[in-house]
Amino acid sequence: MLDLTYDAPKPKTIAGATGDWELVIGLEVHAQVATAAKLFSGASTQFGAEPNSNVSFIDAGMPGMLPVINEGCVAQAVRTGLGLKAQINLRSAFDRKNYFYPDLPQGYQISQLYHPIVGEGEVLVEMGDGTARLVRIERIHLEQDAGKSIHDMDPHMSFVDLNRTGVALMEIVSRPDIRGPEEAAAYVGKLRQIMRYLGTCDGNMQNGNLRADVNVSVCRPGDYEKYQQTQDFSHLGTRCEIKNMNSMRFIQMAIDYEARRQIALLEDGKDVVQETRLFDPDKVETRSMRSKEEAHDYRYFPCPDLLPLEIEQDWVDDIASGLPELPDEKKARFIRDFGLSDYDASVLTADVDNAAFFEAAAEGTDGKLAANWVINELFGRLKKDDRTISDSPISAPRIGQIVRLIKSDAISGKIAKDVFEIAYTSDRDPEEIVETEGLKQVTDTGAIEAAVDEIIAANPAQVEKAKANPKLAGWFVGQVMKATGGKANPKAVNDLVTAKLGL
């Protein structure tokens, strides 16, 4: 079990002219399933291919073509469900959502309205200040993505790229348990983190592989608690849905704007109209996309081309037994086994690649020191170069070597930074660098003593000053270090200087 206990964060309140308002937020996160082939066709899902090159006859909605479920996508949805501690439905079914658009060649999206593959689950969203929100997951269903319409390439024509058509998405639907813009972003971040650990979604928001529809409403303090007690939505305000957000920052901006817009309406004595809105990041505002009256009637009905999807409990158990350690467990273990601080453990487990790198670096040595080196030195250096951990020029075992060299007193922390820089820039082995460059720390007190004696003898005036003002002893330490090329053990030098000067 997790040994992590948190208090719930306070809901975000916005002060209005007539009193305080609270925010209530629910999210529908669309995560592209990490698989080589699409949900119902064998076409590739590779990003960035030539337009309309990853398109099968099925994706193009050609006459007589039929969908066949990709088992890999089902496994990924199950894996994600298990990662979110959710109910796995052994029987689920696909429905058609009908609407016309040129980037939807079939004229319908195959989705799972009535019987989703994953039922209720939960996610713990830490807020970084010691608080955390437990967000309930209502369901996860599998569905097809649409293609891309391009309207700005020609003044008279629109273009359609069907590469994304039919790619598998998992729609992860939360309950309205999120109470502020920061929580919403943190929730998306936590889902992203978990799915990256699971390998079920790469979480690349820029490429649109992770997008969110955000439902926002506002209510008076106390109303939400009434909802919690009764699960009766009438205690909550009318919601608006902001579509297709693909940036954590925009999600926060949009929620904040939308909440304030709704509060202004309500305080003006007007009603919030349930509708779909779009966020304009340039103007920082949301705009009505279509009202409830204009809303599509999607005419959902069971897809007659697909039989109900039935999976075996044994198959689910196999997937469960192969699940990797998830972020919450990993963080707890890092704190427990390596003695890391909560903060360091959070930083290192934020991303699965970071965590794996750290563990490789810490292997067989001081975990806490290794964590310092990974977080402070390596992450800083990578950031400077605009690199990620996956293309770090220095490997985890080499960071481990540096840590071991420090721990064995072979080099000082200061020298270690030089060794790191050389290893980072020239792809060399730290032990070899220390050997070749003669950077090994001098711990032989005889050699250090000789150097101290030499400096004292050569600087009688300084000796007198130091005796009057002991703080000046540091000047001698510096001179000795300089004379030994920085290799002398600083503590040994310090002790000797203090003794010889009789301080």
Partner 1 sequence: MMTDLTKLTIAGARDALRKGEVTAAELTQSYLSAIDEAGALNAFVHHTPEIAEAQAKAADARIKAGDAPDMCGIPLGIKDLFCTKGVPSQAASRILDGFRPEYESTVTTQLFDDGAVMLGKLNMDEFAMGSSNETSTYGNAVNPWRRGNDDTALTPGGSSGGSAAAVAADLCLAATGTDTGGSIRQPAAFVGITGLKPTYGRVSRWGIVAFASSLDQAGPMTKDVRDAAIMLRSMAGHDMKDSTSADLPVPDFEAALTGDIRGKKIGIPREYRMEGMPDEIEALWQQGQEMLRDAGAEIVDITLPHTKYALPTYYVIAPAEASSNLARYDGVRFGHRAKLAQGEGVTEMYEKTRAEGFGAEVKRRVMVGTYVLSAGFYDAYYNRARKVRSLIKKDFEDVFAQGVDAILTPATPSAAFELGKEVSDPVEMYLNDVFTVTVNLAGLPGIAVPTGLDRAGLPLGLQLIGRPWEEGDLLNCAYSLERAAGFVAKPARWW
**Smallest distance, Å, CB 103 to partner 1?**
9
Residues facing residue 139 across a β-bridge:
173
Instruction: Give least dist CB 161 to partner 1, A.
Output: 13
Return d(Cα 92, Cα 114) in angstroms, integer: 8
**107 versus 322: smaller Cβ distance to partner 1:** 107
- Tell me the closest approach of the beta carbon of residue 278 to partner 1, in angstroms: 19
Separation between Cα atoms, residue 249 and residue 113, nearest integer Å: 30
Q: Which is nearer to partner 1, 91 or 383 (CB)?
A: 91
Report, in Å, the least distance between residue 154 CB and partner 1: 14
Binding region for partner 1 (CB under 8 A)? 57, 60-69, 96, 98, 100-102, 105-108, 158, 160, 297, 299-301, 304-307
- The amino acid occupying position 267 is E
Gap between the Cα atoms of 326 and 306, Å rounded: 34
Q: With respect to partner 1, which residue has the nearer C-beta, 74 or 340?
A: 74
**Which is nearer to partner 1, 64 or 222 (by Cβ)?**
64
Q: Do residues 493 and 455 make contact, with C-beta atoms less than 8 angstroms apart?
A: no
- CB 268, min distance to partner 1, A: 31
CA dist., res. 176 & res. 228, Å (int): 10
Pick the closest to residue 39 from 66, 64, 62, 67 (CA basis).
Answer: 67
Q: Please report, for the chain, how many H helices and E strands are present, in that order.
A: 17, 16
| H helix or E strand, kind and range, residue 97 | strand 95-98
Beta-carbon-side half-sphere exposure of residue 186 (alpha carbons within 13 Å)? 20
Q: Which lies closer to partner 1 via its Cβ, residue 64 or residue 438? A: 64
User: Measured from the CB of residue 244, what is the shortest distance to partner 1 in angstroms?
Assistant: 19
Q: Which is nearer to partner 1, 106 or 479 (CB)?
A: 106
Question: Of 90 and 499, which CB lies nearer to partner 1 in the complex structure?
Answer: 90
Residue 90 CB, nearest distance to partner 1 (Å)? 18
Nearest to 47 by CA among 172, 201, 212: 201
With CA atoms as reference, report the closest residue to 3 among 326, 331, 285, 292. 331
Q: Do 97 and 113 contact (CB within 8 A), yes or no?
A: yes
Residue with tokens 């699940």: 323
Beta bridge partners of 401: none
